[in-house]
Amino acid sequence: MFSIPKIISQIACSFYMLFFSIAIFAQKPVDLVNPFIGTSNFGAAFPGPIAPRGMASISPFNVAGVKNTPMEKDSQWLSNPYVNENTFLTGFSQVNLSGVGCPDLGVILLMPTTGEVETDHLKYGSTYSNEVAKAAYYSVNLDKYKIKGEFTASKRVGVSRFTFPKGKSNILLNLGLGLTNEEGAMIKVVSSTEIEGMRTVGSFCYNSPEDAYPVYFVAKFSKPAHNFGVWKKPAKYNGVEAQWMGYNGKTRIMENTIKTVVGDSIGSYFTYKFDKEETVEVKIGISYVSIDNARENLERETGNKSFDAVYEETYNEWNEELSKVLVEGGSKDDQTIFYTALYHTLIHPNTLNDINGEYPKIKRSKIGKTEGTRYTVFSLWDTYRNMHPLTSLIYPKQQSDMIKSMLEMYDENGWLPKWELNSTETFTMVGDPASIVIVDACLKGIQDFDFYKAYYAMLKGADQIEDNPLRPGLKEYIEKGYLSTNYAGPVSTTLEYNTSDYAISLLAKALGKKEDYKRFTKRSLSYQKLYDKDLKLLRPRTANGKWYEPFDPEAGANFQANVGFIEGNAWQYAFMVPHDMKGLIKLMGGDKAFSDQLQKVFDLKQFDMANEPDIAYPYLFNYVKGEEWKSQELVKKLVKEYFQNKPKGLPGNDDTGTMSAWLVYSMMGIYPISPGDPIYTITTPMFHRVTIKLDPAYYKKESIVIERQENNEGKINSIEINGKPLNSFFISHEDFVNGTKLKVIQN
């Protein structure tokens, strides 16, 4: 036999050391996710399991309790199924939204109990302890019952594992209780191991109630129930009829029945009698098309797989997605908030189609079928700003499929989406943001969709005066350049239309549509008519063209309603012309005036980290030569102040990943400063090295590295791309992704 040559032995040794050092010092990205981040301070994230862009998810549900207690869903506006501080748990909801500002979903509540069946959640609810939350896994102990619950999920199936003590135990499936005021459900126990049914959800933000829609499910239990049944609490009658009904308004327990039961307050129970500690696994397949599809989703995704096998698969899937960006340096908390933020950007938009490709078309007029992925939950007013640009960079295939989904929506109802949720258009917020998302991706090289069709879809939204659901007030906007106070939030809406029009102009230019290019470029600058030179702010005008009076620039902070602005005030919208910062600087009287006014936003504490209109402002000092350090300091300060490895570690609603995407970009040291424009502005990365793996289907290079000195906190002195000076705090997407290394050199 040959002895191993020394050189090989040394290489082997180095490999061993490398492996060892990774094993010791670097955790897998998936292990750095802390799903508790954003579960307090109205972050509206949930700590339970979900697969990347999954349809199903499981959240502990602890927002239903005694009325008029803090953070109780019916006593105050609450958009999430879980609040970290709450203590009273009433189940585990099987479909959930993450980081939204309005309640929806948060239904199909599974709850294990012991003893006699109790169907009133105020009676069967329990305190809880020993919460553990990881990517694809959550576990908790229910104090009252000494039951351990563990939860994981595949894309369309939530999997629960309950460890019951010896004795009589129950698993309740409550279709009455839910996060919102929407009601109506159907349930049928198919056998002692299976339940099927549906629950009505919708009316997001209490809009479009007629679009309330069904979520279908099939639940399979690993062990047959000893007994099962259904309950229903009907409405209470009054008057003479009530006298005939001894049972008026009382809960009905229907034992061992396989009949279909419908109602607002219904559920089913499975009862077990255990001689010793036992576990039961419950798989709940979800579909927005039909019960049959929910069953097929369940069978094909999880079939005979154990809880542990499902968990392992989803865990690996998360790790693969999160490993598209590798960070080196920074504290463990830095890495945790980074990967948790990236995790949050991978929840919505999420999968709508069943595993067989079927999905409900917009407004459920028909069932569609996709070969790829039909995405849903497009909170575009939020996400056009950074979340979609981030997806284009790191997950371009997903971004492409999202655009295809948006174009399918256009095919289905004649309009691009605005705030699409499970094939309903909620028409929440203002503007016409889909155009920006599509142009941004297209100009970044994601072009495997019909961008001509997309272009004409944008034009329709931008030009059709009558019956245009996307752009109310369009006639006035085109005629005057702005919306008057006849419309809600006229300044905000004008700025949104400007931004969209700018994006359209960019695509028009790229497609050689010169007239459109000119027209939309001009339209994109009409905000200038709202510029009040005296205040150096944008200000609403009345229909006759006069400034709206009285005008308080500070009115409208903290989401207060005000004339002129949506979710913000004049300060928060003063710089929301990302595409024309140079024009704005000119309007304001040059760099100094601009810089001073921008600084005022922060000095006057008008900057709101928790909402989108001003979210890019910390980067705007990059437009003033010599003041870029202010952006660097501001971004660092804001990250430190608002983003932390704890439940309160998001500044507010995550807005389906928008806050998180801001953090991901900010920690990487780049920011998509003008959505639609394929350009980034640069700040100090918060890691020594960030490696972004690029998808070879869309990008030429395998990866791009962003680097800065280890342990250096100073201002940026210079920036290099591929070893050569950049001489700018801006870099085009093309230069960036075709580079090898972007290096930030600090003082």
Would you state the torsion angle of the CA atoms of residues 327, 348, 388, 334, taken in this order, to the nearest 10 degrees? -20
Single out the segment in contact with a second copy by CB under 8 A; choices: 129-137, 235-243, 388-396, 506-514.
235-243
Query: Which member of 253, 543, 561, 697 binds a second copy (CB under 8 A)?
Result: 253
Q: Which residue, 7 or 235, is less far from a second copy as judged by CB?
A: 235
Before 349, cis peptide (omega within 30)?
yes
Single out the segment in contact with a second copy by CB under 8 A; choices: 130-138, 246-254, 455-463, 723-731.
246-254
Interface positions, 71-100, toward a second copy (CB under 8 A): 74-77
Selection from 738, 632, 617 nearest residue 686 by Cα: 632
The type of residue at 216 is Y
Does 244 interact with a second copy (rule: CB under 8 A)?
Answer: yes
Does 247 interact with a second copy (rule: CB under 8 A)?
Answer: yes
Q: Which residue, 42 or 311, is less far from a second copy as judged by CB?
A: 42
Query: Which member of 4, 6, 210, 371 binds a second copy (CB under 8 A)?
Result: 210
Does 203 interact with a second copy (rule: CB under 8 A)?
Answer: yes
CB of 367 to a second copy, least distance (A): 7
Characterize the bridge pairing of strands 741-746 and 703-708.
Answer: parallel
Q: Which residue, 229 or 349, is less far from a second copy as judged by CB?
A: 229
Q: Which residue, 190 or 593, is less far from a second copy as judged by CB?
A: 190
Does 316 interact with a second copy (rule: CB under 8 A)?
Answer: no
Does 53 interact with a second copy (rule: CB under 8 A)?
Answer: no
Tokens of 297: 């989703």
Instruction: State the Cα angle at 559 between 100 and 472, rounded to 5°.
Output: 80
CB of 103 to a second copy, least distance (A): 9
CB of 262 to a second copy, least distance (A): 4
For residue 631, report the phi and psi dihedrals to the nearest 5 degrees. Answer: -60, -45
Q: Could you tell me if 272 and 291 are in contact, meaning their C-beta atoms sit under 8 angstroms apart? A: no
Query: Which member of 47, 263, 553, 651 binds a second copy (CB under 8 A)?
Result: 263
Does 116 interact with a second copy (rule: CB under 8 A)?
Answer: no
CB of 230 to a second copy, least distance (A): 9
Q: Which residue, 56 or 198, is less far from a second copy as judged by CB?
A: 198
Query: Which member of 239, 626, 696, 723 binds a second copy (CB under 8 A)?
Result: 239
Single out the segment in contact with a second copy by CB under 8 A; choices: 52-60, 207-215, 304-312, 374-382.
207-215
Interface positions, 567-596, toward a second copy (CB under 8 A): none
Rounded Cα–Cα distance for residues 391 and 242 (Å):
58
Tokens of 596: 């001073």
User: Would you call 664 helix, strand, or coil by DSSP?
Assistant: helix
Does 258 interact with a second copy (rule: CB under 8 A)?
Answer: yes
Tokens of 670: 């780049």
Single out the segment in contact with a second copy by CB under 8 A; choices: 176-184, 607-615, 617-625, 731-739.
176-184
Does 209 interact with a second copy (rule: CB under 8 A)?
Answer: yes
Describe the strand order of the beta sheet including 703-708 as a list of residue ranges.
Answer: 325-328, 689-693, 703-708, 741-746, 716-721, 724-725
Q: Which residue, 2 or 244, is less far from a second copy as judged by CB?
A: 244
Rg, Å, the chain Cα set: 27
For residue 261, report the phi and psi dihedrals to the nearest 5 degrees. Answer: -125, 135
* Burial of residue 76 (number of CB atoms within 10 Å: 0-12, 13-18, 19+): exposed
Selection from 529, 430, 543 nearest residue 488 by Cα: 430
Rounded Cα–Cα distance for residues 48 and 523 (Å):
45
Q: What is the DSSP string of 127-141?
A: -EEEEEEETTEEEEE
Does 469 interact with a second copy (rule: CB under 8 A)?
Answer: no
Question: Cβ neighbours of residue 746 under 8 Å, at least 6 residues apart?
Answer: 684, 708, 709, 712, 713, 714, 715, 716, 717
Query: Which member of 31, 117, 163, 184 binds a second copy (CB under 8 A)?
Result: 184
Single out the segment in contact with a second copy by CB under 8 A; choices: 244-252, 276-284, 430-438, 598-606.
244-252
Rounded Cα–Cα distance for residues 181 and 389 (Å):
35
Tokens of 44: 């509206």
Characterize the bridge pairing of strands 167-174 and 157-164.
Answer: unpaired
Tokens of 388: 């979609």
Count of Cβ atoms closer than 10 Å to residue 262 Cβ: 14
Q: Which residue, 212 or 555, is less far from a second copy as judged by CB?
A: 212
Query: Which member of 125, 178, 330, 360 binds a second copy (CB under 8 A)?
Result: 360
The number of residues in the chain equals 747
Does 232 interact with a second copy (rule: CB under 8 A)?
Answer: yes
Q: Could you tell me if 635 and 326 are in contact, meaning their C-beta atoms sit under 8 angstroms apart? A: no
Q: Which residue, 95 or 186, is less far from a second copy as judged by CB?
A: 186
Would you state the torsion angle of the CA atoms of residues 74, 79, 84, 90, taken in this order, to the nearest 10 degrees? 50
CB of 120 to a second copy, least distance (A): 17
Query: Which member of 31, 120, 143, 183 binds a second copy (CB under 8 A)?
Result: 183
CB of 566 to a second copy, least distance (A): 18
Does 238 interact with a second copy (rule: CB under 8 A)?
Answer: no
Rounded Cα–Cα distance for residues 425 and 427 (Å):
6
Query: Which member of 2, 3, 24, 246 binds a second copy (CB under 8 A)?
Result: 246
Question: Cβ neighbours of residue 305 under 8 Å, at least 6 residues apart?
Answer: 313
**Rama region for 200: left / alpha / beta (φ>0; ψ in -120 to 50; rest):** beta
Tokens of 474: 């369009």
Does 714 interact with a second copy (rule: CB under 8 A)?
Answer: no
How many residues bind a second copy (CB under 8 A)? The answer is 52
Does 723 interact with a second copy (rule: CB under 8 A)?
Answer: no
Does 241 interact with a second copy (rule: CB under 8 A)?
Answer: yes
Single out the segment in contact with a second copy by CB under 8 A; choices: 181-189, 297-305, 618-626, 684-692.
181-189
Rounded Cα–Cα distance for residues 54 and 50 (Å):
6
Does 214 interact with a second copy (rule: CB under 8 A)?
Answer: yes
Q: Which residue, 215 or 615, is less far from a second copy as judged by CB?
A: 215
Does 118 interact with a second copy (rule: CB under 8 A)?
Answer: no
Single out the segment in contact with a second copy by CB under 8 A; choices: 239-247, 381-389, 397-405, 726-734.
239-247
Question: Which residues, in sequence order, are bridge partners of residue 598?
Answer: none
* Burial of residue 178 (number of CB atoms within 10 Å: 0-12, 13-18, 19+): buried
Count of Cβ atoms closer than 10 Å to residue 399 Cβ: 27
Q: Could you tell me if 310 and 317 are in contact, meaning their C-beta atoms sit under 8 angstroms apart? A: no
Single out the segment in contact with a second copy by CB under 8 A; choices: 51-59, 309-317, 359-367, 601-609.
359-367
Does 37 interact with a second copy (rule: CB under 8 A)?
Answer: no
Before 490, cis peptide (omega within 30)?
no
Q: Which residue, 364 or 688, is less far from a second copy as judged by CB?
A: 364
Does 240 interact with a second copy (rule: CB under 8 A)?
Answer: yes
Alpha helices for 604-695 (secondary structure H) = 628-642, 658-668
Single out the segment in contact with a second copy by CB under 8 A; choices: 249-257, 313-321, 441-449, 718-726.
249-257
Query: Which member of 34, 94, 169, 200 binds a second copy (CB under 8 A)?
Result: 200
Single out the segment in contact with a second copy by CB under 8 A; choices: 124-132, 242-250, 297-305, 541-549.
242-250
Does 467 interact with a second copy (rule: CB under 8 A)?
Answer: no
x/- letters, 362..391, toward a second copy (CB under 8 A): -xxxxx------------------------
Rule CB under 8 A: which residues touch a second copy?
67, 74-77, 181, 183-186, 198, 200, 203, 206, 209-214, 216, 232, 234-235, 237, 239-241, 244-247, 250, 252-264, 360, 363-367
